């Protein structure tokens, strides 16, 4: 009788099964016992009141409707929510439990094991895991910073490389986390020209603080392209990650055939909870107030960060969109050493290297942080940097 190998011998090689960041320094609590945590990105944990419970009252008691695209009334409400941006119909939408799940569906439907997808670097670290779990490799194009973020078009593969690497779709994260870069029309069109479906992750779309004429709404682009798949969900648009509701909007000449195939994947899971789908029309009536409160916090914090670091050796990268602020640190110390010094001062921040930021030393702080906490944490960071850069 064959023996089963000992754990972990029988695990597949899909996941990494190892801690992400084993070397991260743990912040030392201040004498008060407090850690100044500048990494909180859940609005409710940052004392931003989000969704009231009203959506739960008055839900109809209806038999479960196992529609692989998601409840029709929910998709109808979502189409109305998106319609000020572009003509979108309920038939173009498919509900998922999260944006992450929508990515997984796309990986399962469009990629065979060993195929690739093209993603930005810096990127969204979870995408590495989602792709790996589906047996898919990542090829990367670069975003660069030079006073503003932009896509480095020279880093895009040519047709021959796309074929050789078996690239099945390209991802734009716009607005991008943590850089806040919003893809311009020219950048989106350059990705579309690669000749594979374009997936736009726009979870931070309601949090664009500055728009330019060169921007192009992906939902507008979608109506004139072969296949554009735009992903978002309630976790950011309603500040409600726990509700577990995301969506995918398929647009373009191939959208209808694509959605019929996608139904096959989503029908295998049917993971959307009927209650949240029934409540979506009511939830969507609350999102514009929620988004306004969150944007007000972002703007307040953006000003606060600039004030704290004025005249210091820390460069605050402009917050154009999203929930993160990138701080570029002077090159006198390695990023790891800065992190250790900040941790010793009782401040918790995220390392720039977690996102592969193309800056020699940087940290990322949450722009949702409660302002008093943010100010206290940043002042400590400034004191550390001032001490290390004093001549």
CB of 127 to ligand PLP, least distance (A): 8
Regarding 361 and contact with ligand PLP (CB under 6 A), the answer is no
CB of 123 to ligand PLP, least distance (A): 8
227 vs 368 by CB, closer to ligand PLP: 368
71 vs 199 by CB, closer to ligand PLP: 199
CA–CA gap between residue 161 and residue 166 (Å, rounded): 8
Concatenate the DSSP letters of all residues of 122-186 into one string: S--HHHHHHHHHTT-EEEEEEEEESSSEEE-GGGS--HHHHHHTTEEEEEEESS-TTT----BHH
CA–CA gap between residue 73 and residue 314 (Å, rounded): 50
Task: Give the footprint of ligand PLP on residues 240-299 (CB under 6 A).
Answer: 241, 246
CB of 325 to ligand PLP, least distance (A): 14
Task: Give the footprint of ligand PLP on residues 182-241 (CB under 6 A).
Answer: 201, 203, 233, 235, 241
Phi (first) and psi of residue 373, to 5 degrees: -65, -40
CA–CA gap between residue 199 and residue 168 (Å, rounded): 11
Regarding 43 and contact with ligand PLP (CB under 6 A), the answer is no
Contact stretch for ligand PLP (CB under 6 A) within 20-28, 96-104, 181-189, 220-228:
96-104
- CB–CB of 36/347 below 8 Å? yes
Contact stretch for ligand PLP (CB under 6 A) within 28-36, 97-105, 136-144, 361-369:
97-105
Q: Are strands 149-151 and 137-145 parallel, antiparallel or unpaired?
A: antiparallel
Among 173, 188, 192, 200, binds ligand PLP (CB under 6 A): 173
Regarding 99 and contact with ligand PLP (CB under 6 A), the answer is yes
For residue 260, cis peptide bond before it (omega within 30 degrees of 0)? no
100 vs 291 by CB, closer to ligand PLP: 100
CB of 31 to ligand PLP, least distance (A): 33
Helices 371-389 and 335-344 cross at an angle (nearest 10°) of 120
In the complex, which residues of this chain contact ligand PLP (CB under 6 A)? 98-100, 124, 173, 177, 201, 203, 233, 235, 241, 246
């Amino acid at each position: 009788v064959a023996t089963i190998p000992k754990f972990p011998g029988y695990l597949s090689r899909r996941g990494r099964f190892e801690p992400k960041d084993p070397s991260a320094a743990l912040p030392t609590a201040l004498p008060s016992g407090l850690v100044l945590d500048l990494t909180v990105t859940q609005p409710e944990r940052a004392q931003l009141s989000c969704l009231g419970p009203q959506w739960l009252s008055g839900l109809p008691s209806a038999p479960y409707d196992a529609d692989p695209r998601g409840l029709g009334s929910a998709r109808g409400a979502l189409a109305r929510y998106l319609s000020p941006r572009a003509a979108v119909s309920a038939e173009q939408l498919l509900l998922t439990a999260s944006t992450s799940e929508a990515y997984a569906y796309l990986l399962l439907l469009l990629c065979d094991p060993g195929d690739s997808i093209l993603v930005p670097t810096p990127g969204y670290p979870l995408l590495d895991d989602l792709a790996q779990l589906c047996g898919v490799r990542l090829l990367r194009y670069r975003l660069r910073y030079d006073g503003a973020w932009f896509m480095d078009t020279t880093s895009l593969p040519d047709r021959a490389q796309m074929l050789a690497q078996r690239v099945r779709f390209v991802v734009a994260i716009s607005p991008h986390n943590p850089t806040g870069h919003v893809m311009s029309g020219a950048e989106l069109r350059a990705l579309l020209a690669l000749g594979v479906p374009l997936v736009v992750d726009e979870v931070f779309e309601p949090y664009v603080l500055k728009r330019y004429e060169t921007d192009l709404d992906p939902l507008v682009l979608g109506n004139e392209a072969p296949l554009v798949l735009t992903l978002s969900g309630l976790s950011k648009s309603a500040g409600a990650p726990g509700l577990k509701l995301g969506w995918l909007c398929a647009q373009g000449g191939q959208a209808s055939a694509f959605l019929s195939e996608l139904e096959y994947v989503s029908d295998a899971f049917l993971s959307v909870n009927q209650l949240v789908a029934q409540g979506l029309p009511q939830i969507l009536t609350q999102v514009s107030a929620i988004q306004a409160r969150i944007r007000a916090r972002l703007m307040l914090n953006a000003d606060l960060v600039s004030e704290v670091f004025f005249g210091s050796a820390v460069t605050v990268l402009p917050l154009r969109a999203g929930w993160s602020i990138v701080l570029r640190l002077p090159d006198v110390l390695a990023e790891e050493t800065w992190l250790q010094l900040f941790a010793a001062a009782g401040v918790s921040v995220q390392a720039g290297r977690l996102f592969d930021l193309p800056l020699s030393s940087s940290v990322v702080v949450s722009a949702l942080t409660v302002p008093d906490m943010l100010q206290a944490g940043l002042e400590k960071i400034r004191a550390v940097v001032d001490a290390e850069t004093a001549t």
